[in-house]
Amino acid sequence: MASFSISLSQSSHISLKPKTSPPKSHFVKSHFVQIKASAHSTPSPSTPPKPVVSKPRRPADENIRDEARRNNPTHSHRFSAKYVPFNADSSSSHSTESYSLDEIVYRSQSGGLLDVQHDMDALKNYDGKYWRDLFDSRVGKTTWPYGSGVWSKKEWVLPEIDSDDIISAFEGNSNLFWAERFGKQFLGMSDLWVKHCGISHTGSFKDLGMTVLVSQVNRLRKMKRPVVGVGCASTGDTSAALSAYCAAAGIPSIVFLPANRISIAQLVQPIANGAFVLSLDTDFDGCMQLIREVTAELPIYLANSLNSLRLEGQKTAAIEILQQFDWNVPDWVIVPGGNLGNIYAFYKGFHMCKELGLVDRIPRLVCAQAANANPLYLHYQSGWKDFKPIKANSTFASAIQIGDPVSIDRAVYALRNSNGIVEEATEEELMDAMAQADSTGMFICPHTGVALTALIKLRKSGAIGPTDRTVVVSTAHGLKFTQSKIDYHSMNIKDMACRLANPPVQVKADFGSVMDVLKKTLLSKAPKH
C-alpha cells in the first residue's frame, strides 16, 4: 500500500391539516387551525406564515442570509434539544442529567457517551405527513439555510440555532444511485442503490456532521464562549471537513493526523484550507487519545464524533434516503464502520422518522468492517460479550483503520435495535469489490468496497434476497483514494491476484500495431449476432 510522508515544509407552500389528536396547549390555540408552511420559516400553528404564491426575486443588494433574516425576523423557536447521557440500556435511563447544547461537554458525569435528545413531544405536535411535506418542500432550493440537505431538517437537527449563525456549503441532498448493472450482473439484484455521501463538498459524509458542529462553534464564539479553535484526530476525512468549514467560518482548526497513514489527497485538504496540521508518529487511536487530552486542557473544541452534535447532521442521510424513496423504507442499509458514529447516526435518523410517523418501520442495518480493523465484527461474533479494543492493522480502507472506536456503545445499540448484522472484508475482497463496482461505471472508495463485500457475502448466504431493496452507503469519493486503484490496476500489491486489474496496454505509435492490438482485444470481445 502506498504511504506518504507529511514533510510538506419561494417557496413551495403546503397546506396541512393538523393532527387529529389534541396538540399541546402551548403550541396551538385551536385544533382546527390550517397551517401554511413555507420553505423558509418554521411554521407556527399560532402565527401561520403569510401565504406567498411565488417567491419574489430578492433585491440586488440583499444576499440569502439577509433574505432569511427578513423572512424570519423573530427567530422564535418551538423546538429544543439538549445533551443527555447516552444510555444503551433504556430501562436505566431515569437520569436527570442533561446539558444545554451551548455547554462545552463531551462526556456524561459517569464518563459515558452523550446523546442529543430532542423535545419529541413538541415535534409530535405535527404529524408524519406534515414533516414529510415540509422536508420535501425544501429540496433543491437556495433558500438559506434550508437548501442544505442537513438544514432542510433543521427542526430535527439544531432547532434553536439562529439561521444566521449557520456555516453551510449546502451539503447533503446526495445522489441515490441505482446500481443497475452491478446489481444485475454480479448479484442478481434489481433494487440495489448506492447512497453517494462522498459526492460532497469535501468528498465524504463528514460534511453532514461538520456543518452542524462548526455552526454551533460559530454560535458559541458569538456568545463569547472561550473557544480559540476546533480540533480533531483524523484518518483523513474528518480533518478535511473540519478544516473546510472552519475556513469558511474564519475559525482556526487544528488536526492530528497519523503520519503516513492517510492518502495524499486527504492530507492536502487541511493544508490547503489553512488548518494547523500535526503529523504524529502514531495511529488514529493514538491521535484520538491525544486530542482528547489536549481538548480537556485547552479551549479547543473537539470535533470528532465523540461529540454527539456531529451525529445530528449525519443522521440526515438516513432521512434523505427515505425521502428519495418517496418515504418508502428500504429493507437493508449497509454502512462501513470505523469510529462507529455513523452507524448510530443512521439508526437515529431512521428511528426518528418512525417515531414521528413519517414511516412505519426501519431498515435492517449492516455494519461492514475491514478484517484488518474489525473490533466490532469480533464483538458481534462473540455474541456481544466483553468488547475488546484491538490494534488495527494497515488496510486500503485507511479511513476505517481504527481499533478502539469511541462509539462502540452507540453502534451496538443501533445494531441490536435494527436486527442488524456485522460483516467483514479482507483486503483482497474489498479491492476486488471496488474494482467490480468501478467496472460498472462507479468510482468508489475502498470503504465502499468493504460495504459491497458485506453485500456480496449476505447475498451469497441468502440473508439478502434478490428483490430486497438494499442501499449501500458510499462514504467517500473515490478520487481521494486513487493510489489504491493505481496499485491494484498495476498489479502492484503483494499477495493479491488483482484479478480485475485493467492496466493500460503499451503500444508502438504506428497504425499497424494499434490495429493489431484492437483486433486482438476489442473485436474478440464483440457480441456475436
Ligand X SMILES: N[C@@H](CCOP(=O)(O)O)C(=O)O
Ligand Y SMILES: Cc1ncc(COP(=O)(O)O)c(C=O)c1O
- Binding site residues, ligand X, CB under 6 A: 232, 234-239, 304-305, 338-339, 341, 399
Over the Cα atoms of the chain, what is R_g? 24
Mask 446-485, x = binds ligand Y (CB under 6 A)?
A: -x---------------------------xx---------
Selection from 271, 273, 289, 281 nearest residue 232 by Cα: 289
Would you say 404 or 468 has its CB closer to ligand X?
Answer: 404
What residues form DSSP beta bridges with 368? 336, 423
C-beta separation of 115 from 86 below 8 A = yes
Q: For the packed helices 237-249 and 264-272, what is the interaxial angle rounded to 10 degrees? A: 20
What span, in angstroms and rounded, lies between the C-alpha atoms of 193 and 445?
A: 16
- At closest approach, how far in Å is the CB of 367 from ligand Y? 8
Partner in contact with 166, chosen from ligand X, ligand Y, none, beta carbon below 5 to 8 Å by kind: none
Q: How far apart are CA 469 and CA 456, in angstroms?
A: 14
Q: Is 237 in the site for ligand Y (CB under 6 A)?
A: yes
Cβ-based nearer residue to ligand X, 402 or 471: 402
Binds 336: which of ligand X, ligand Y, none (CB < 5-8 Å by kind): ligand Y
CB of 308: closest distance to ligand X in angstroms?
11
Min. distance of Cβ 13 from ligand X in angstroms? 37
Question: How many angstroms separate the CA atoms of 263 and 481, rounded?
Answer: 6
Task: Decide which of ligand X, ligand Y, none touches 456; Cβ closer than 5 to 8 Å per partner kind.
Answer: none
Decide: residue 464, CB within 10 A, 0-12 exposed, 13-18 middle, 19+ buried.
Answer: buried
Q: 305 or 323, CB closer to ligand X?
A: 305
Q: How far is the CB of 347 from ligand Y (least distance, A)?
A: 12
What are the grid coordinates assigned to 60, written together?
440586488
We find the least distance from the C-beta atom of residue 433 to ligand X, in angstroms, to be 19
Q: Pick from ligand X, ligand Y, none: which does 45 bind, CB < 5 to 8 A by kind?
A: none
* Residue whose CB is less far from ligand Y, 127 or 207: 207
What residues are paired with 113 via a beta bridge? 107
Q: Between the CA of residue 92 and those of 143, 215, 417, what are the distances in Å?
A: 42, 33, 16
Could you tell me the CA-to-CA distances from 141 to 11, 34, 152, 313 in Å, in that order?
8, 24, 10, 19
Please give the torsion angle defined by the CA atoms of residues 102, 105, 107 and 110, in that order, rounded to the nearest 10 degrees: -100
Q: Which residue lies nearer to ligand X by CB, 39 or 254?
A: 254
CB 210 to ligand X: min, Å: 9
* Residues in 118-177 that interact with ligand Y by CB under 6 A: none
The one-character DSSP state at 182 is: H
Contacts of 232 (CB under 8 A, 6+ apart): 238, 239, 242, 253, 254, 255, 256, 291, 302, 303, 304
Q: How far is the CB of 329 from ligand X (least distance, A)?
A: 26
First to last CA, the chain: 44
- Nearest distance from residue 270's CB to ligand X, in Å? 11
Closer residue to ligand Y, CB minimum distance, 152 or 401? 401
Paired strand residues for 230: 253, 301
Between residues 285 and 432, which has the closer beta carbon with respect to ligand X? 285
Q: Give me the least distance between CB of 270 and ligand Y, in Å please.
A: 14
Helix, strand, coil shares, percent, the chain, to 5: 40, 15, 50
Site for ligand Y in 266-305 (CB under 6 A): 305
- Our finding on whether 437 is near ligand Y (CB under 6 A) is no
Residue 330, preceding peptide bond in cis (omega within 30° of 0):
no
Residue with smaller CB distance to ligand Y, 146 or 347 = 347
371-400 residues in contact with ligand Y (CB under 6 A) are 399-400
Per-residue binding string, ligand Y, 325-354, x by CB under 6 A, is: -----------xxxxxxx------------
Phi, psi torsion values for 126, nearest 5 degrees: -115, 140
Q: Could you tell me the three cell numbers for 51?
A: 401565504
Question: How many residues interact with ligand Y (rule CB under 6 A)?
Answer: 17
Comparison of 218 and 305: residue with beta carbon closer to ligand X: 305
Residue 234's binding partner among ligand X, ligand Y, none (Cβ under 5 to 8 angstroms by kind) is ligand X
Q: Check if the beta carbon of residue 345 is closer than 8 Å to that of residue 209.
A: yes
What's the closest the beta carbon of residue 242 comes to ligand X, in angstroms? 8
Nearer to ligand X, 165 or 207 (CB): 207
Binding map of ligand Y across residues 197-216, x = CB under 6 A, - = no contact: -------x------------
Calpha distance 70→77 (Å, rounded): 16
Question: Which is closer to ligand X, CB of 71 or CB of 305?
Answer: 305
Q: Which residues contact 326 (CB under 8 A, 6 or more apart)?
A: none
Q: Examine residue 183 and tell whether it contacts ligand Y (CB under 6 A).
A: no
Partner whose binding site includes residue 340, from ligand Y, ligand X, none (CB under 5 to 8 Å by kind):
ligand Y
Shortest spacing between CB 236 and ligand X, in angstroms: 5
Give contact residues for ligand Y (rule: CB under 6 A).
204, 235, 237, 305, 336-342, 399-400, 445, 447, 475-476
